[in-house]
Amino acid sequence: MAEKKPNKLKARLPRGLADRGPAEIAATRAMVETIRAQFEKYGFEPVETPAIEYTDALGKFLPDQDRPNEGVFSFQDDDEQWLSLRYDLTAPLARYVAENYQHLALPYRSYRFGYVYRNEKPGPGRFRQFMQFDADTVGAPTMAADAEMCMLAADTMEALGIPRGQYVVKVNNRKVLDGVMDAADIAANKRLTVLRAIDKLDRLGVEGVRQLLGTGRKDESGDFTKGAELTPDVADFIITNSGGDEGFAGKRKDGGVEIFPQTAGKAALTSDVLEAGKKELAEIEKLCREAGYGPDRIRKDNSVVRGLEYYTGPVYEVELLIETKDEKGRPVRFGSVGGGGRYDGLVSRFRGEPVPATGFSIGVSRLQAALTLIGKLDAKPPAGPVLVTVFGPDSVPQAQKLTATLRGAGIRAEMYLGNPKRGVGDQLKYADKRHAPCAVIQGPDEKVKGEVQIRDLIAGAAPSGAAEREEHLKKQAAAQTAVKETELVAAVRAVLQEHGLA
């Protein structure tokens, strides 16, 4: 009887997640260091919070429903307490500040970065795990703190290589939106649904927002999102008055711009909360202008909403205005790559007293994709380590010694750890796959002479066309030089300096 073959486990990545290789990780590191330097220039200091929080710390600020596992990934621990993976970096900060309130210098200025998790349906550009980088000021009640966040956003975009005119920081105020909803007499239990509908303007356009304000919308996959169930007249009123004096502008899928006509008319929107919102916006604008940040960098935009409920005042978004094409030649506009706002009630939930706070968050994963596509981040794999080859098992101790010498001098190096019987040619193929800048070769002849061969793998790289072969052979010959073993470090360092890697 034939033996049954063992079942082979299928290797598969869960939907909405992504693996990352050396090139992408190196690009993230470079980008994060640029952001970190900018945030520290503004006086923010680092803090870390864990990826898991008690679910009630997230509370009603969960993205969709006030219960575990709706919008967040949740589980129970051994004493039946509900825990959740963090949805953003703001709610954990609020818990941290409340828990350490007596020991912090107020205003408390901090930054943090890391992965956040969304239990939502994945799609193009929408992941269940992605990285954010936040800066927050807790304990500052004035609009100067919000104006500073907008300035920080603008300065960070330019530090990352995005020139003026190719980004804009858009500012609005939740109080203005609250005033509009007051005038429309929107019930309290529908307001968050209304805000989230408006927040999807860039992605769905005006008609998509209208559907979400009404009975609901079915997406291209057939999934249905229930709407706010406003009447058509009330929905029109919200759309018209939320968009400023020119109506509610949005982008259609064909790339054109549509302006919703003023069919609903303007109401006498004179509520105290709306006027307070307008006053705060005017103050932020004044502070930014006096600091030298013009409307080409920071400006008011009544369509900015932000989809989370905890915002209580100014809200802001950074939008990239760059238009490019994807790998299939289709036009791409990146839209929002970061945002934030004032959340005066979030820390107060733990403290039972007013604690003003405001913050700004960069969507690192989304911004990295944009910067890579427009050539502001290097998408090439980073240079690998110097490879020290081996000539059979007997040469391993000496090869290890040479490797240790390079490492001791601060040079990235590895000894070939595959089958030591494989020839140098195979080892150099491995070096190419590792993107090694050079290889160290010491055969029996070199060992007797006390020498090593240094092979410059960048200068001696294979040509793309056969016509260049003769020139390549000359380069390859020149790319390998013999030096004394005592000159190993200097020779390798010279190759690295030649290619800008030292």
DSSP 50-105: -SEEEHHHHGGGSSS-SSTTSBS-EEE-TT--EEEE-SSSHHHHHHHHHHTGGGSP
Domain range enclosing 398: 386-498
Give the confidence band of 106 by pLDDT, cuts at 50, 70, 90.
very high
481: in domain: yes
Domain identity same for 329 and 291? yes
219: in domain: no
Question: Which residue, 310, 340, 373, sits at the end of a domain?
Answer: 373
497 three-class SS: helix
Domain identity same for 300 and 403? no
Whether residue 3 has pLDDT greater than 70:
no
305: in domain: yes
435: in domain: yes
* Average pLDDT of the residues of the chain: 85
Helix axes 488-498, 396-408, angle to 10 degrees: 60
Which of 118-132, 267-281, 285-299 has the weakest average pLDDT? 267-281
Question: Which residue, 373, 405, 435, sits at the end of a domain?
Answer: 373
CA dist., res. 350 & res. 346, Å (int): 8
Query: Where is pLDDT greater, at 256 or 411?
Result: 411
Specify the DSSP element, H or E, that contains 202.
helix 201-213
Which of 272-276, 401-405, 417-421 has the weakest average pLDDT? 272-276
Domain identity same for 340 and 413? no
Whether residue 477 has pLDDT greater than 70:
no
Which of 134-143, 173-182, 248-257, 264-273 has the weakest average pLDDT? 248-257
Domain identity same for 165 and 299? yes
Paired sense of beta strands 413-415 and 386-388, if any: parallel
Domain identity same for 369 and 417? no
CA angle 148, 135, 177 (to 5 degrees): 65
Q: Which amino acid is at 470?
A: E
10: in domain: no
Query: Mean of the pLDDT values across residues 400-404?
Result: 97
15: in domain: no
Give the confidence band of 253 by pLDDT, cuts at 50, 70, 90.
very low
Place of tokens 């107020």: 106
CA dist., res. 168 & res. 296, Å (int): 7
pTM > 0.75: yes
Query: Sign of the C-alpha dihedral, residues 110, 273, 170, 187?
Result: positive
379: in domain: no
CA dist., res. 147 & res. 129, Å (int): 30
Which of 376-380, 381-385, 450-454, 484-488 has the weakest average pLDDT? 376-380
> How many angstroms separate the Cα of 303 from the Cα of each of 8, 169, 230, 293, 418?
52, 12, 19, 21, 59
The CATH number given to whatever domain includes residue 321 is 3.30.930.10
Which of 28-37, 82-91, 102-111, 251-260 has the weakest average pLDDT? 251-260
Whether residue 248 has pLDDT greater than 80:
no
273: in domain: yes
Domain identity same for 366 and 395? no
Which of 87-91, 344-348, 377-381 has the weakest average pLDDT? 377-381
CA dist., res. 338 & res. 36, Å (int): 15
The CATH number given to whatever domain includes residue 454 is 3.40.50.800
Domain identity same for 109 and 78? yes
Give residue 274's pLDDT: 81
**Torsion angles phi and psi, residue 115, rounded to 5:** -80, 145
Give the confidence band of 307 by pLDDT, cuts at 50, 70, 90.
low
Whether residue 139 has pLDDT greater than 50:
yes
Q: Report yes or no: 58 and 31 within 8 Å, Cβ to Cβ.
A: no
Domain identity same for 353 and 401? no
Residue-wise pLDDT for 342-363, tens only, equals 999 889 989 988 899 999 999 9
Burial of 108 (0-12, 13-18, 19+ CB in 10 A): buried
Domain identity same for 300 and 177? yes
Q: Report yes or no: 72 and 119 within 8 Å, Cβ to Cβ.
A: yes
